Amino acid sequence: MSSYMELFRHFEKTRDLVRDLLICGFKRRGEFVRRSARTYDDERRRVESWLDGYVRHDDSVKGRQIAISVDCGRITEDPLYKAYGAKSFTDNDIRLHFLLLDLLADGEAQTLRELTEAMAVRYGFVFDEQTVRGKLREYVREGLILTEKRGRTAYFRLTPHDADDLLAACPGLDEALRSFSGSTPFGVVGDSILKSVGLRNDIFLRKHRYIVHTLEDIILPDILRAIEEGRTLLLCNAPQRVGHEAAEREETVVPMQILVSSQTGRRYLAAYVPKYRRFNSYRLDYLRAVTVGGTVEDAAALRETYRRVIGRVYGVSFGSREDTGAVEPIRITFRFDEEAEAFVVERLARERRGGVLTHPAKDTYVLTLDVDDPLEVLPWLRSFTGRIARVEGGCALFRKRFYEDARRMQVLYGGDGRADIQ
Amino acid sequence: MQIFSEIYGAYYRIVSRLAEMGRVTDRDVQRVIEAEGSRETVLFLPQRILPQKDGSDWGLFVRQADGTLVPVMRQTPHRLTTLQRRWLCGIAHDPRIGLFLDDAAVERLRASLADVTPLVPEDHIRWIDRYNNGDAFTDPAYRAHFAALLAAMRAQELVSVTYQSRTGAKLRCLFLPLAFQFSEKDDRFRVLAVRYRKGRLQSCWVLNMALIAAVEPTGRHVSPPPLDQVFEERRCREPAVVRVSMERNGADRFLMEFASYEKQTDRDLATGDCLVKLWYDAQDETEVLIRLLRFGPVLEILGPPSLRAQAVERVRRQTALLEEERPNET
């Protein structure tokens, strides 16, 4: 039986568990069916260690329920960054890291043989050249070490880019690091710089922060590389609907852009799907893995088409005529006391997303939106409940759902006897 | 470029920190691990740092005759990887960088990163629902106010703030600024500040940076209350209680959208409905209400009565408006 280790090698399993605990918050041990009980216990123990203070246990007759509950608006540091700081490594990895950095700290270039010998002579650590070469190559890839050929011999030296020097040369960069280390995506990278020089954020908070994005950042470098280089991506997509076990499906796509919603907490990959010859979007939190593939011949043309198409996308849906039928511009009439409720005009102006706002009469505003999938507008529209006088255009399903939902809301809240319910 | 790599890990950082301290005691090792590691790091790391008789430690620290430890390496430079430099390049070109660095420092930063590209090129990402009236981060007055407030936070100094309220009235009050709060949705900064009145700190305000007209230092210093205490005072008295159904994937959408809130969730195994208690900043109640109403009939606000009453009133007005209009098409 293997013993528990605090560090781990594969991020994917832990990412799944943290997402379940953070998002669902009601699962019990037996409901985590994708992993053995022991694996679950190990992963849960790690999560509890990183998220000390944010894990909530509730015991009931149904069993012990574990959840992560974080008020993200009041934390100065994303607790999930700790997951990125827990990658396992070998004894040689850590020895080579510190010894090579020490040997190369003076900025002088040295050969593989010189470095290997120096480690034996100066520190008493004997490594074979193959091991040292592997570590040097890895650090060259990460940009920590630079290499150059002199004749047939490779020389290695430390990158001159030093965090302390940069902070000294750019006053105020420390505060910028504190602030931006909470940003998305990749705040965890900023946090790694901040912590390496012994700083911590203490005064920069984030409202509307979704720490679950931190987990998704693990797959972003490959996605961004594929976008940059015009390559395909093989997606392992596993929609994890509440109450349903995820079924994995593989799809090859040409990635276009990352779409981020600051209000729903969801981030998507917008991509062209050659198989269906159309654009589609994929939730990042559903993507278990991505693999970068070959280059796409017509990448530039696809990107041009995408730029044209995305202009008509309200959120992330590229629309499907099978679902919506014919679509025409949406026309929404709002009615409210514009003097007493001037903030509503402000909201309409700042949230109209390319729509045209007119003011045909006192207390009446009309917003016209021309979008591919009218159904996407509904959640936003409902946030104006109490001020919507008329909804026209879009598609039949859009109008039907709006008016039906309005009736159902009346049934839910129309009775008087519900206010006593706690 | 690996984002999940041990070179950014807590263990490497702890070893580096101890090595920088030079000569350390076992107690120092314990203290640094507790400060930099996770709750359980103290169970796993000390025996790899402290020399062991069986040689199972990493051999990076040597025990001295006086019982202290010294590192075998003389230097542990903080060199930046390509991943870190590309991230820095991204922030160096963000319009908010000028809130922290003066123009000359921004130029120096950009010049030092001229050989790398931003980690996330601007056109690779699209914010779909960010408001279009974000703060003017590059405006000289805005930058000056930000710098003055930041300096006051660091110095724990009271400042006189001239502030334009929503009604257009100008207020001038003494504040002790505590923290900045940035919203991705609004694309704006707010300042959490405690008002100073009648010789003492009083209630906490949230000031929109864009509405600040002037910030003047006073030279008077006051100890700030802990941020946690401020948040506790602002927390709603009773949590919102909502029931979310599985219809239209409502539970999943809701739990994702409200993942950033402190909450307690339970699930009705018979119906699949989620019953959620949600705690929020009392000042954000209207925003919370609006966000709950976005879910339409797949979510019902059950309590507290004051919050439900607001939903009832909005739905009543909505019903009246639609009846008034009597659309032909329903």
Taking only the tens place, the pLDDT of each residue in A254-297 is 999 999 999 998 999 999 999 999 999 999 999 999 999 999 99
Q: Which of A89, A100, A262, A281 to mutate to test the interface with B (most CBs of B within 10 A)?
A: A262
Report phi then psi at B127, rounded to 5.
-85, 115
Spell out which residues of chain B touch residue A414, defining contact as CB-CB under 8 Å: 312, 315-316, 319
Average pLDDT estimate for A45-61: 82
In this structure, the number of other CB atoms found within 10 A of the CB of residue A46 comes to 23
Angle, in degrees to the nearest 10, between helices B285-293 and B305-325: 50
Distance CA B59, CA B43 (A): 19
Does A210 sit within 8 Å of B126, measured CB to CB? no
Distance CA A262, CA A264 (A): 6
Of B99, B179, B253, the CB nearest to A264: B253
Residue with tokens 């796409």: A296
Coil, strand, or helix at residue B188?
A: strand
| Among the listed residues A282, A215, A228, the one whose alpha carbon sits nearest the alpha carbon of residue A253 | A282
Q: What is the pLDDT of residues B54-84, one digit of tens each?
A: 999 999 999 999 999 999 999 999 999 999 9
The class that CATH gives domain B235-325 is alpha beta
Of B15, B181, B309, the CB nearest to A98: B15
ipTM of the complex: 0.94
Q: Which of A19, A263, A384 to mutate to test the interface with B (most CBs of B within 10 A)?
A: A263
Coil, strand, or helix at residue B176?
A: strand
Distance CA A192, CA A207 (A): 22
CB pairs under 8 A between A and B: 446
pLDDT of residue A325: 66
> Which ranges of B281-326 would DSSP assign to H, the alpha helix?
285-293, 305-325
Distance CA A32, CA A26 (A): 11
Q: How many helices (H) and strands (E) would you count in chain A?
A: 16, 15
Local confidence band at A35 (pLDDT 50, 70, 90 cut-offs): low
Q: Is B294 on the interface with A (CB under 8 A)?
A: yes
Does A310 sit within 8 Å of B126, measured CB to CB? yes
pLDDT of residue A417: 46
Alpha carbon distances (Å) from A413 to A105, A406, B151, B297, B303 = 69, 11, 50, 10, 12
Of A163, A188, A243, the CB nearest to B78: A163
- Residue pair B196/B222 in contact (Cβ under 8 Å)? The answer is yes
pLDDT of residue A47: 87
pLDDT of residue A62: 66
Q: How many helices (H) and strands (E) would you count in chain B?
A: 11, 12
How many angstroms separate the CA of residue A273 from the nearest CA in chain B?
18
Alpha carbon distances (Å) from B292 to B128, B240, B285, B296 = 20, 10, 10, 8
Strand boundaries in A296-362, DSSP class E: 328-335, 356-361
Q: Given CA atoms A360, A361, A367, A368 in this order, what sign does their dihedral have?
A: negative
Does B87 sit within 8 Å of A413, measured CB to CB? no
Of A65, A144, A351, the CB nearest to B81: A144
Residue with tokens 């008295």: B237
Alpha carbon distances (Å) from B268 to A246, A279, B271 = 20, 37, 6
Q: Model-level pTM?
A: 0.93
What is the bridge-based pairing of β-strands A278-283 and A231-237?
unpaired
pLDDT > 80? residue A241: no
Q: What is the pLDDT of residues A147-168, one digit of tens each?
A: 999 999 999 999 999 999 999 9
The class that CATH gives domain B140-227 is mainly beta
pLDDT > 80? residue A367: yes
Spell out which residues of chain B touch residue A351, defining contact as CB-CB under 8 Å: 129, 131-132
What is the bridge-based pairing of β-strands B274-279 and B240-244?
antiparallel
Q: Is B271 on the interface with A (CB under 8 A)?
A: no
Q: What is the pLDDT of residues A306-362, one digit of tens each?
A: 999 999 899 999 977 666 667 899 999 999 999 999 999 999 999 999 899 999 999
Coil, strand, or helix at residue A159?
A: coil
Tokens of A60: 């009931």
Residue with tokens 């007209």: B213
Of A101, A161, A265, the CB nearest to B85: A161
Does B4 sit within 8 Å of A84, measured CB to CB? yes
Low-confidence ranges of chain B (pLDDT < 70): 326-330
Q: What is the pLDDT of residues A380-405, one digit of tens each?
A: 999 999 999 999 999 999 999 999 99
